[in-house]
């Protein structure tokens, strides 16, 4: 029998049902929100990957200015793409967005090595053989003059290496070194005259690659960059000799100056470009991807001295060391590596390359000729106690835009930033 | 004696008709609104089938991108069949636009995925 006042009981039951249903609805709503969020971000990741692939397959000029586009003509596939020159490498920035949701990635781009042109050594053919002495070892293919390779007895040192003199295939070299892409050095040469703000050396500066570049110009007086940390999208220029102290921490930045001096004990990741000379003290370490380059598009009467890169002992460079002269004239550029230096990457020396005792190159050496200086004599095309190992280089190594023996295929060299 | 007069000594224990009607209306109203909202939320939510379809499509896309030799034009995975369409992207011979569609046993589209990949 139903008691009187059933309405009150029904209202309570209805309230309980309503609360139960509401909790179910709320949980389903949050589940849906979570799923849709994940789905949206999966789609953003997918669009981002598509954008990165487009940048990697585009030529250098297509995305110099940021370009927004719809990938497939739908309303949820918008991306913004940009690719800019960053020294010998490129920087790509890709942003994908759906409504207010955005994902961004910034990455450095390098070029894949051309295995057909790659070797431990490319010595241009100057009708002179390559002579090896001491514990010299060449591992990997080598492009050598027609006169070949021979063991030699120099300064009382006999050859004590492998009987074959070379581990790898012997290929014939041309009279002229494989030329690098000339467009990039020409573009880089224009950046020596960049003007910007004065660098306050008491500050640490970090600039994102998603933001416009920060350019700092040092005064005409030779300045020492010390006790400062510079990271990211930063270019440092100077009108005269620029000195980098070991207390300066550089990470990913570019430096342009007529001459650059790096003090002993420096550690960093940067690309240094000079017109005349780069002098590196002892025990300096440049991590991958770094670059030391001399760029001379024209030689003024004042610039009659040879361009020079000089590395002190116990240094390591991971990346690229090169000299570029639009017209190779005497005196040729000279690159000098110190004792127990380690280079992981590529050396491109169209002038002379002087290697010292126990120099270790993991990668490739391109040169027109080696120099070996004893206290009394200067030897040409002699290698003494030097290791050149083309096979020891990481298979993930990527070269720069200006480097020879690289293909047009671009890959992500390093992830820089993500948002 | 015409008869005996009946007198009620207490009130009857029962609900009024109005109370019962209002109660029924309330219950129907609350349950109706709840069902409508729940149905709407459920309809827009991820079904297990759809989630499985996306996982299969992503797996296939990865295969196409990194191991193209191992992927065929169309294939079926349990009750999900995948159709793939590949065409050059923006006349760039190094880029391909891949469109993958997952369909159920009744050939209804469950999920689709588009991506631009670098030609192998």
Which range has highest mean pLDDT (A171-180, A273-282, A331-340)? A273-282
Residues 6+ apart with CB under 8 A from A287: A267, A268, A269, A318
Cβ(A106)–Cβ(A417) under 8 Å? yes
Helical pair A6-57 and B17-44, crossing angle rounded to 10 deg? 10
**What is the spatial distance between Cα A332 and Cα A126, in angstroms, rounded to a whole number?**
15
B-contacting residues in A 54-93 (Cβ below 8 Å): 54, 56-58, 71-72, 74, 77
Chain A to chain B Cβ contacts (< 8 Å): 94
Q: What is the pLDDT of residues A110-140, one digit of tens each?
A: 988 888 888 889 998 888 888 888 888 888 8
A50–chain B Cβ distance below 8 A for any pair:
yes
Which of the residues A12, A21, A109 would you substitute to probe the B interface, choosing the one with the greatest number of B C-beta atoms within 10 Å? Answer: A21
Contacts of A4 in chain B (CB under 8 A): 13-16
Instruction: Say if the Cβ atoms of B23 and A42 lie within 8 Å.
Output: no
Please say if the pLDDT value at position A21 is more than 80.
no
Q: What percent of chain A has pLDDT over 70?
A: 95
**What is the spatial distance between Cα A128 and Cα A381, in angstroms, rounded to a whole number?**
8
Contacts of B46 in chain A (CB under 8 A): 32, 35, 39
Residues 6+ apart with CB under 8 A from A257: A192, A218, A236, A237, A238, A239, A240, A241, A242, A273, A274, A275
The beta strands (E) that lie in A54-158 are given as 67-70, 78-86, 89-98, 101-113, 121-123, 130-133, 137-139, 142-144, 149-151
**pLDDT category, B22, cuts 50, 70, 90?**
confident
Looking at A253-257, A291-295, B98-102, which range is the least confident one?
Answer: B98-102
A-contacting residues in B 69-88 (Cβ below 8 Å): none
Cβ(A408)–Cβ(A401) under 8 Å? no
B30–chain A Cβ distance below 8 A for any pair:
yes
B48–chain A Cβ distance below 8 A for any pair:
no
Q: What is the pLDDT of residues A288-300, one digit of tens each?
A: 999 999 988 776 6
Please say if the pLDDT value at position B8 is more than 70.
no
**What is the spatial distance between Cα A102 and Cα A76, in angstroms, rounded to a whole number?**
11
Q: What is the pTM of this model?
A: 0.81
Query: What pLDDT shows up at residue A4?
Result: 56
Query: What pLDDT shows up at residue A6?
Result: 67
Separation in Å, CA of B42 to nearest CA in chain A: 7
Please say if the pLDDT value at position B1 is more than 50.
no
Instruction: Say if the Cβ atoms of B95 and A54 lie within 8 Å.
Output: yes
**What is the spatial distance between Cα A43 and Cα A23, in angstroms, rounded to a whole number?**
30
A25–chain B Cβ distance below 8 A for any pair:
yes
Please say if the pLDDT value at position A1 is more than 70.
no
B36–chain A Cβ distance below 8 A for any pair:
no
Please say if the pLDDT value at position A399 is more than 50.
yes
Which of the residues A23, A33, A54, A96 would you substitute to probe the B interface, choosing the one with the greatest number of B C-beta atoms within 10 Å? Answer: A54
**pLDDT category, B5, cuts 50, 70, 90?**
low
Q: How many helices (H) and strands (E) does chain B have?
A: 2, 4
- Average pLDDT (A266-271) is 93
Looking at A39-43, B54-58, B68-72, which range is the least confident one?
Answer: B68-72
Q: What is the DSSP string of A228-280?
A: -EEEESEEEEESS-EEE-TT-EEEEEEEEEEEEEE-TT-EEEEEEEEEEEEEE
A3–chain B Cβ distance below 8 A for any pair:
yes
Please say if the pLDDT value at position A197 is more than 90.
no
Query: What pLDDT shows up at residue A301?
Result: 64
Query: What pLDDT shows up at residue A365?
Result: 92
**What is the spatial distance between Cα B33 and Cα B13, in angstroms, rounded to a whole number?**
33
Contacts of B92 in chain A (CB under 8 A): 54, 57-58
Q: For chain B, what is the largest distance between any 2 Cα atoms, rounded to a whole number of angstroms?
A: 117
Helix, coil or strand: residue B102: strand
Q: What is the average pLDDT score of chain A?
A: 86
**pLDDT category, B45, cuts 50, 70, 90?**
low
Cβ(A271)–Cβ(A287) under 8 Å? no
Query: What pLDDT shows up at residue A278?
Result: 93
Please say if the pLDDT value at position B73 is more than 60.
no
Please say if the pLDDT value at position A158 is more than 50.
yes
Token pair for B42? 């459920």
Q: What percent of chain B has pLDDT over 90?
A: 0
Please say if the pLDDT value at position A85 is more than 70.
yes
**pLDDT category, A185, cuts 50, 70, 90?**
confident
Separation in Å, CA of A72 to nearest CA in chain B: 8
Contacts of B118 in chain A (CB under 8 A): 53, 56-57
Contacts of A72 in chain B (CB under 8 A): 97, 114
Looking at this predicted complex, what is its ipTM?
0.71
Q: Which residue has the higher pLDDT, A277 or A297?
A: A277
Which of the residues B14, B15, B22, B44 would you substitute to probe the A interface, choosing the one with the greatest number of A C-beta atoms within 10 Å? Answer: B15
């Amino acid at each position: 029998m139903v008691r009187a006042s059933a309405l009150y009981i029904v209202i309570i039951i209805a309230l309980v049902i309503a609360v139960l249903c509401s909790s179910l609805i709320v949980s389903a709503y949050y589940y849906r929100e979570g799923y849709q969020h994940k789905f949206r971000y999966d789609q953003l990741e997918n669009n981002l990957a598509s954008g990165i692939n487009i940048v990697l397959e585009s030529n250098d000029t297509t995305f110099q200015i940021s370009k927004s586009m719809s990938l497939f003509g739908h309303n949820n596939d918008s991306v913004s793409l940009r690719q800019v020159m960053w020294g010998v490498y490129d920087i790509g920035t890709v942003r994908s967005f759906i409504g207010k949701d955005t994902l961004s990635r910034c990455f450095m781009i390098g070029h894949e090595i051309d295995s057909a042109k790659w070797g431990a050594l490319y010595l241009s053919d100057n009708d002179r053989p390559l002579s090896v002495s001491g514990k010299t070892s060449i591992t990997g293919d080598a492009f050598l003059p027609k006169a070949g390779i021979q063991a030699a007895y120099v300064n009382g040192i006999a050859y004590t290496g492998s009987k074959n003199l070379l581990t790898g295939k012997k290929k014939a070299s041309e009279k002229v070194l494989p030329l690098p892409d000339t467009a990039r050095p020409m573009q880089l040469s224009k950046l020596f005259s960049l003007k910007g703000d004065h660098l306050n050396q008491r500050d640490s500066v970090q600039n994102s690659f998603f933001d416009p570049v920060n350019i700092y110009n040092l005064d005409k007086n030779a300045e020492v960059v010390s006790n400062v940390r510079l990271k990211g999208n930063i270019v440092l220029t100077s009108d005269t000799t620029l000195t980098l102290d070991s207390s300066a921490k550089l990470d990913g930045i570019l430096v342009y100056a007529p001459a650059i001096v790096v003090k002993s004990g420096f550690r960093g990741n940067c690309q240094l470009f000079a017109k005349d000379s780069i002098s590196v003290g002892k025990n300096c370490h440049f991590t991958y991807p770094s670059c030391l380059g001399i760029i001379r598009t024209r030689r003024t009467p004042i610039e009659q001295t040879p361009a020079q890169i000089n590395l002190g002992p116990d240094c390591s460079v991971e990346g690229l060391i090169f000299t570029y002269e639009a017209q190779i004239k005497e005196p040729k550029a000279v690159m000098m590596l110190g004792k127990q230096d380690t280079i992981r990457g590529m050396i491109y020396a169209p002038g002379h390359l002087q290697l010292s005792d126990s120099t270790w190159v993991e990668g490739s050496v391109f040169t027109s000729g080696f120099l070996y200086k004893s206290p009394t004599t200067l030897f040409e095309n002699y290698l003494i106690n030097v290791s050149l190992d083309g096979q020891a280089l990481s298979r993930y190594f990527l070269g720069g835009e200006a480097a020879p023996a690289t293909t047009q295929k671009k890959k992500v060299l390093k992830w820089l930033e993500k948002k | 004696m015409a008869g005996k007069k009946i007198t009620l000594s207490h009130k009857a224990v029962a609900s009024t008709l109005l109370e019962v009607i209002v109660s029924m209306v309330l219950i129907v109203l609350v349950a109706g609104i709840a069902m409508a909202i729940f149905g709407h939320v459920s309809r827009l939510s991820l079904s297990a089938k759809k989630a499985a379809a996306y996982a299969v499509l992503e797996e296939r896309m990865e295969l196409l991108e990194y191991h193209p030799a191992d992927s065929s034009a169309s294939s079926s995975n349990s009750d999900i069949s995948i159709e793939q369409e590949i065409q050059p992207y923006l006349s760039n011979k190094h880029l391909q636009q891949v469109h993958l569609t997952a369909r159920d046993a009744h050939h209804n589209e469950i999920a689709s995925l588009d991506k631009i990949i670098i030609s192998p």
